Chains A and B, each alone.
Chain A
């Protein structure tokens, strides 16, 4: 028995090490300016994913054979001092193992698709470096046994997402959308970091076992009081809302479609968009401590689902339509979590991720096939009318249509209420500072406003 546990721990380490080593390999080669061929990149990605997947399957088989539902792989104390410590710990249970296996399978499929889709693309190497960072982030976040470890994976996923949205670097749109997504993610990250610190103070540890009870998922009993659970839960819900595009952050999802199709498929169809729901599933024993918290989650999930459905119905771009269809399902999954249907939510999440990946990958050639079909039958394909709006009045229908076209006005609302006042305030401060420094200097104090960006003697560098 101890040998089997050791074997499981060893395999667990392989699951985590494979994507991390891939990041180091590709990242260090890039930093040292060692240009890898496409074939080498593909082989290294395939090797890491196959090894990681086989190890994860090995853990699953051993867990089933041993009837074990909770395997802990403790890497050790990352930082330890009196009054503070950060433990790196990974947990293999009924929640994390299926999600890690899903991550490997979907990543492997999309990587295989991407090797052809991105063939001879200028940023081929950059794409796969970011892809590897994303995979490492997903595996670390899904297997995390402490909230600090989860935060590590969470951040890696966020950074790679934002940079992949801005992948096509010579265009303005991807760059702007990448920034918007990064801003939303940072709000989400800040909420998660605060939740981590509050958790640390509540339990003295960042371990999920301490917070959610020692029983295997989902049978743990959280030790928090109703008020504590509500505060931490709301922080975690903000984090999840940012990552999964729930209201009021839904506006970033169509923006994310600026990235290459493979990254859109894996990020916003399959894995990244579900990470918020996964977080809520992970802390689901905590959600049971507060009825109000559960109610807030259900309302937020259902509102997001309805809004995403409406917005998705009026999209004219297939990737945007698919992204809102994803969001609609994520909203329902979140509502299921709020209602306490954990297994249903997990199965829904896994099934939805697989379906949506397939749809995203298929999206590129779908229109071509539609044209072929229409040519074959000699007329347009029939479209079913929008059923629920048949009995709604014209004005209401127009209003809903307008709301859907404006994507719920969520981005405009965020810009108007938060971004614009913030920027105005600091620009005003900047102008006042300028006046003050001009006064103290007794002349024009800002050299920078006069100097034009002129290259000076760059030939000397060569």
Chain B
């Protein structure tokens, strides 16, 4: 029996939900962790099969007999296309690796129930193409961090303010969108409201403080899992890009460009590791948005490739920082720590994942950055300059932090601080993907190009509609 014509994406979401429910009842941390790893592993396998089915051309209708959504709603709201087919397994992989790399010191603070719930929402979000479902899931997803704030007894007013604004604007935009019926004014209002919501969710300047605040107060693993998949960019592509007039896209581009350079500059002057990571992430997320603004086939392919690269390389980078934090507590960047002798593999992975995120040659990000710069220069030389400046500042920030953490002093410890076996598996998996994707980029780029062409086609079809 061919296993591919099955609703694997639905299965992945259901397994994640089932996992969250069953783990919430476990009190033994070790047992909960083991089950958590098993559930996230199964979810990843399901998403991999779903993606494989899509790329092998298994028709979507062939799984109708097994589909729960068909049974409940009579139609499919979730499905894969060229845009989300590689993103869904990438997000699941990130969840699986994060659970696997969780040190015993972090088991108490890293909630696997939260992680599996977030995974289910992420997968449903990335699997949905219908605006109604997507808006609902984005709103629900934005509420999830509140649980973490409350659990950890941290102040959440700042986050709540931003997310109230985000959800409000999203709902207003959605309302105008469904009631537009070809009315140009309503469509424009919908676009502007959705755009504003997306910009808040992406954390562009000046509405980015929720993101640094989130990294301040959440568990590092949970903070990474919530932001790294770039849900805001997905919303921008599904909700805004098809209907947005050019001036709206230029607006996105301008604020994103400012954010990319500003966040890169801020990453350079940070004196604490989490804030540094938050700004680094912001800069990368904004660079992806810049590619959307230019919306040529080349720049869009670059943006989509960079997005995939960010999930793996910045995700891996975050996991390395988390592993370091698990050993040494919160790391300040006001002095040199000299940790290389204790954790050489972590040091190498820090550099590998960090430099991959800024497009170092031979890594996953190189072709993505090259495409993005190429597309940006084609549109405007100054946009290209700003993209290059942001990438250069980010790479300086990464090497600065590497030198601060791993060199410049002699760290003495009576305890072995070497990388553990589980962490080694995680970082080697990511290293293999980053280097493999960097040395053989053609399949990835072709896949992203098909997605870019689909997006541009959808945009062109919408422009051709009367009104």
**How does the 8 Å CB contact mask read for A180-197 relative to B, with 1 for contact and 0 for none?**
001100110110011001
Is A422 an interface residue when CB atoms closer than 8 A count as contact? yes
Please determine whether B392 and A190 come into contact, CB atoms closer than 8 angstroms. yes
Is A31 an interface residue when CB atoms closer than 8 A count as contact? yes
Please determine whether B403 and A179 come into contact, CB atoms closer than 8 angstroms. yes
Is A65 an interface residue when CB atoms closer than 8 A count as contact? no
Is B341 an interface residue when CB atoms closer than 8 A count as contact? yes
Please determine whether A426 and B268 come into contact, CB atoms closer than 8 angstroms. yes
Is B19 an interface residue when CB atoms closer than 8 A count as contact? no
Is A417 an interface residue when CB atoms closer than 8 A count as contact? no
CA distance A72 to B349 in the complex (A): 36
Q: Report the nearest B residue to A153, measured CB to CB.
A: B361
Question: Which of A79, A436, A443, A456 touches B329 (beta carbons < 8 Å)?
Answer: A456
Q: Which of A238-276 contact B (CB under 8 A)?
A: none
CA distance A80 to B209 in the complex (A): 40
Interchain nearest-CB distance for B255 vs A (Å): 16
The number of chain B residues with a CB under 8 A from chain A is 81
CA distance A430 to B297 in the complex (A): 37
Interchain nearest-CB distance for B400 vs A (Å): 6
- Known pairs A429-B262, A445-B155, A461-B417; A83 contacts B392 (CB<8 A): no
Interchain nearest-CB distance for B372 vs A (Å): 10
Please determine whether A81 and B330 come into contact, CB atoms closer than 8 angstroms. no
Question: Which of B216, B338, B416 touches A445 (beta carbons < 8 Å)?
Answer: B216
Contacts of A458 in B (CB 8 A): 105, 327-328, 413, 415, 417
Please determine whether B105 and A451 come into contact, CB atoms closer than 8 angstroms. no
Q: Which of B309-368 contact A (CB under 8 A)?
A: 326-332, 336, 338, 340-341, 344-345, 348, 355, 360-362, 367
Contacts of A151 in B (CB 8 A): 361
- Known pairs A31-B348, A445-B216; A148 contacts B370 (CB<8 A): yes
| Chain A interface size range | 35 or more
Please determine whether B395 and A461 come into contact, CB atoms closer than 8 angstroms. no
Q: Which of B421-465 contact A (CB under 8 A)?
A: 424, 428, 431, 441-442, 445-446, 449
Contacts of B403 in A (CB 8 A): 166, 175-176, 178-179
Contacts of A443 in B (CB 8 A): 155
Q: Which of A142-159 contact B (CB under 8 A)?
A: 148, 151-152, 155-156, 159
Contacts of A425 in B (CB 8 A): 265
Contacts of B1 in A (CB 8 A): none
Q: Report the nearest A residue to B406, measured CB to CB.
A: A169
Please determine whether A453 and B332 come into contact, CB atoms closer than 8 angstroms. yes
Q: Which of A166-223 contact B (CB under 8 A)?
A: 166, 169-172, 174-176, 178-179, 182-183, 186-187, 189-190, 193-194, 197-198, 200-201
Please determine whether B420 and A175 come into contact, CB atoms closer than 8 angstroms. no
CA distance A427 to B271 in the complex (A): 10
CA distance A190 to B388 in the complex (A): 6
Please determine whether A456 and B158 come into contact, CB atoms closer than 8 angstroms. no
Q: Report the nearest B residue to A191, measured CB to CB.
A: B388
CA distance A458 to B104 in the complex (A): 9
Is A437 an interface residue when CB atoms closer than 8 A count as contact? yes
CA distance A80 to B440 in the complex (A): 12
Stretch at the interface among B120-128, B172-180, B182-190, B373-381: B373-381
Is B410 an interface residue when CB atoms closer than 8 A count as contact? yes
A78, A80, A174, A458 interface centre (most CB from chain B within 10 Å): A458
Q: Which of B270-296 contact A (CB under 8 A)?
A: 270, 272, 274-275, 296
CA distance A427 to B332 in the complex (A): 16
Interchain nearest-CB distance for A90 vs B (Å): 15
Contacts of A193 in B (CB 8 A): 373, 388
Question: Which of A78, A148, A171, A422 touches B442 (beta carbons < 8 Å)?
Answer: A78
Question: Which of B266, B360, B445 touches A79 (beta carbons < 8 Å)?
Answer: B445
Interchain nearest-CB distance for A30 vs B (Å): 7
CA distance A362 to B265 in the complex (A): 43
Please determine whether B336 and A455 come into contact, CB atoms closer than 8 angstroms. no
Contacts of A176 in B (CB 8 A): 403, 408
Please determine whether B361 and A174 come into contact, CB atoms closer than 8 angstroms. no
Please determine whether B298 and A83 come into contact, CB atoms closer than 8 angstroms. yes
Interchain nearest-CB distance for B185 vs A (Å): 33
Q: Which of B194-223 contact A (CB under 8 A)?
A: 209, 212-213, 216-217
Interchain nearest-CB distance for A169 vs B (Å): 4
Contacts of A172 in B (CB 8 A): 336, 408-409
Top 9 closest pairs, chain A to chain B, by CB: A175-B408, A448-B272, A169-B407, A152-B361, A170-B410, A175-B407, A440-B158, A426-B269, A190-B392
Question: Could you list which residues of chain A lie within 8 angstroms of chain B, going by C-beta atoms?
Answer: 30-33, 77-84, 86, 122, 126, 148, 151-152, 155-156, 159, 162, 166, 169-172, 174-176, 178-179, 182-183, 186-187, 189-190, 193-194, 197-198, 200-201, 422-423, 425-427, 429-430, 433, 436-437, 440-443, 445-449, 451-462
12 other A-B residue contacts (CB within 8 Å) besides A80-B442, A433-B212:
A79-B442, A86-B370, A151-B361, A183-B396, A186-B396, A194-B388, A200-B374, A437-B212, A440-B157, A448-B274, A451-B330, A458-B327
26 residue pairs from A and B, CB less than 8 Å apart: A33-B424, A81-B445, A83-B298, A86-B370, A152-B361, A156-B362, A159-B355, A162-B399, A170-B410, A175-B407, A178-B399, A178-B407, A179-B396, A182-B399, A197-B377, A426-B269, A437-B213, A441-B157, A451-B329, A452-B329, A453-B329, A454-B329, A457-B104, A458-B413, A460-B105, A461-B327
